[in-house]
């Protein structure tokens, strides 16, 4: 079984909640990395018997650091309309809430459409060397090939005026794309403040939003190919900064847009 | 009393919820416009006796059209840490949930900071003529001075490849900026799809996120000045499109960034 599938395996319980556990393959310095927490919350909605349609938007708020071990996810359809459904989600460890989330799912209908944000010109993924990043388990779950905005070579405070990163990225081992793995892939960016400042400070994501622009069929067509992912910081002030990002399929379709806020200490 | 203050007046109830009512001054074609619904949800957190710190992020999901009349807002501190607090919110009419929301509040601390997204060059607001828009009440609550991407002059399907709008905007009558009015101002953009297609189709916002980059002191300093607000669509597909936007103070400080998804019919 692929580590992502193992990590997002949830056991349905009679009260409508799901039981899961953190997975060592997605470990960060302490506890699990946020990519997999996001995927686990979304998976609970995707597996819910009352779910209507596919994800359109997903917001997760990381309320506390998860401890390694068991958790429960509590999805609730707050409102079900004819073709849309609004979900609220809590993830708990013991009696404590460790994450809250909301998801909009909907039955998509054929309409006019366009990708206003075009995929930037880039060499093909196999023509770009894999970027070596080691140290924590989750980094080994992603094949990253940076085109722009790689980690600072030295941490001596020589930052850049532009915090843009652009990379080809896919699961490692490769795995066919789906909504949960796409949500996780939207959280693989290292903190934009590292590019601006080239110094390390305690930090962590506090909220992330993903807007899905692709249908399940389009994700299936993207298969286990690479995504072109990019992110750029917008504002940094008073201990919090945000970034805005996009992910395209290898074929150039805009699959998702994403935004997040990170806390930083100084 | 300013119409915004009248519309966001909430009555605290013993169970921790708040009672409010829609206000004719912010009416749309049918029922209230989303700007004020967002402000009402955020105001319930701002007025909650247990609130810790100021808003950092705010996501609202518009689950159903509000009817004119009373509503209740139910904010709950899902998790309170030393300097951060995660809120979940429901807005109800009768027994039905009409909106869900999450808010992160935090005690901000002085840190390094910068605005990576600089305010675009623009003439001063008083040198730009006010853009005349009429038809529904809420439009009269905002003084808008478009610099770029005004509404199509004709609705004959001659769209643009770029859905960017840029405008000076403030409350009308002028009112000192605060977190609730800033959240509302982040939702004043007309649908980006109108610029792309120059044709009208049924549509509505389904989810909006606001990231606050300013402290209460910075908002107070912005006073009743104009904001430079801009928004651009990213992807349009299968009945949903998104936009990403920013709002700067007249002095050029990035006060908020915002994202939203709208439904469209065809």
What are A178-204's pLDDT values in tens digits?
999 999 999 999 999 999 999 988 999
> Rounded mean pLDDT of B123-152?
95
- CB count within 10 Å of CB B17 equals 19
pLDDT value at position A128?
Answer: 98
Give residue-wise pLDDT tens across range B208-237. Answer: 999 999 999 999 999 999 999 999 999 999
Report, in angstroms and rounded to the nearest whole number, the Rg of chain A calculated over CA atoms: 18
Q: How far apart are CA B91 and CA B20, in angstroms?
A: 10
* Inter-chain CB proximity A79 and B57 less than 8 Å: no
pLDDT tens figures, A63-91: 999 999 999 999 999 999 999 999 999 99
The average pLDDT across B51-60 equals: 98
Quick one: average pLDDT of B37-57? 98
pLDDT of residue A158: 82
The pLDDT, as a whole number, for residue A133 is: 82
CA angle A202/A164/B161 to nearest 5° reads 140
- Alpha-carbon dihedral of residues B64, B43, A243, A20, nearest 10 degrees? -60
- A156 and chain B in contact, CB less than 8 A: no
Instruction: Quote ipTM for the complex.
Output: 0.97
Average pLDDT over residues B142-164: 93
Chain A residues close to B104, C-beta within 8 Å:
61, 206-207, 261
Average pLDDT over residues A36-53: 98
Chains A, B: CB contacts within 8 A come to 220
What is residue B27's DSSP assignment? B
- Alpha carbon distance A97, B188 (integer Å): 34
The percent of residues in chain B predicted with pLDDT above 70, rounded, is 100
Whether B201 has a pLDDT exceeding 90, the answer reads no
- The closest CB to that of B86, out of A61, A86, A266, belongs to A61
Most distant pair of Cα atoms in chain B: their distance: 56
Q: Is the pLDDT of residue B134 over 90?
A: no
* Confidence at B254, pLDDT banded by 50, 70, 90: very high
* Surface of A (10-69) touching B: CB under 8 A: 56-57, 59, 61, 63-64
With a pLDDT cut of 70, the percent of chain A lying above it is 100
Tell me the chain B residues in contact with residue A215 when contact means C-beta distances shorter than 8 Å.
237-238
pLDDT at B229: 98
- Chain A contact for B93, CB < 8 A? no
Burial classification of residue A124, based on how many CB atoms lie within 10 Å of its CB (0-12 exposed, 13-18 middle, 19 or more buried): exposed
Q: For the stretch A186-206, what's the b/e string if a residue is b when 16 or more beta carbons lie within 10 angstroms of its beta carbon?
A: bbbbebbbbbbbbeeeebebb
Least confident range of A245-254, B118-127, B168-177, B196-205: B196-205
Mutate one of B76, B237, B253 to test the A interface: name it (highest A CB count within 10 A).
Answer: B237
Enumerate the residues of chain B whose CB falls inside 8 A of the CB of residue A264: 111
When CB atoms are compared, the residue of A64, A116, A209 closest to B163 is: A116
Residue B58 Cα, gap to closest chain A Cα (Å)? 9
CB-based contact, A140 to chain B, within 8 Å = no
If pLDDT is split at 50, 70 and 90, which confidence band does B36 have?
Answer: very high
State the pLDDT at residue A164.
98
Mutate to test the interface with A, among B71, B74, B76, B113 (most CBs of A within 10 A): B113
Decide if pLDDT at A134 tops 90.
Answer: no
* A142-149, Cβ contacts within 8 angstroms, sequence gap of 24 or more: A142/A169, A142/A170, A142/A171, A142/A172, A142/A185, A142/A188, A143/A168, A143/A169, A143/A170, A143/A171, A143/A172, A143/A174, A143/A226, A144/A168, A144/A169, A144/A188, A145/A169, A145/A226, A147/A122, A147/A123, A148/A230, A149/A195
Q: Is the pLDDT of residue A56 over 90?
A: yes
**Encoded tokens for B153:** 């002059």
Q: Do A257 and B234 touch (CB under 8 A)?
A: yes
Indicate the average pLDDT of chain A. 96
pLDDT in tens, A152-172: 888 988 889 999 999 999 999
pTM value surpassing 0.90: yes
């Amino acid at each position: 079984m692929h580590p992502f599938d193992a990590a997002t395996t949830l056991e349905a319980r009679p009260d409508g909640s799901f039981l899961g556990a953190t997975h060592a393959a997605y470990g960060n310095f302490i506890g699990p990395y946020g990519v997999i927490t996001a995927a686990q919350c979304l998976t609970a909605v995707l597996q819910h018997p009352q779910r209507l349609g596919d994800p359109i938007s997903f917001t997760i708020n990381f309320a506390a650091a998860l401890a390694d071990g068991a958790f429960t996810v509590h999805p609730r359809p707050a409102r079900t309309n004819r073709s849309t459904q609004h979900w609220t989600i809590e993830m708990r460890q013991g009696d404590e809430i460790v994450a809250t989330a909301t998801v909009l799912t909907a039955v998509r209908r054929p309409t006019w459409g366009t990708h206003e944000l075009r995929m930037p010109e880039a060499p093909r993924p196999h023509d770009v060397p894999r970027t070596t990043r080691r140290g924590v388990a989750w980094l080994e779950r992603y094949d990253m090939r940076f085109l722009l905005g790689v980690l600072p070579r030295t941490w001596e405070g020589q930052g850049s005026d532009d915090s843009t990163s652009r990379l080809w990225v896919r699961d490692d081992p490769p795995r066919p794309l789906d909504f949960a793995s796409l949500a996780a892939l939207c959280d693989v960016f290292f903190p934009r403040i590292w590019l601006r400042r080239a110094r390390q400070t305690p930090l962590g994501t506090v909220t992330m939003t993903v807007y899905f622009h692709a249908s399940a069929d389009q994700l299936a067509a993207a298969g286990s190919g690479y995504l072109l992912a990019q992110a750029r910081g917008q504002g940094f002030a008073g201990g919090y900064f945000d970034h805005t990002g996009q992910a395209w399929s290898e074929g150039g379709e805009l699959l998702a847009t994403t935004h997040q806020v990170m806390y930083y200490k100084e």
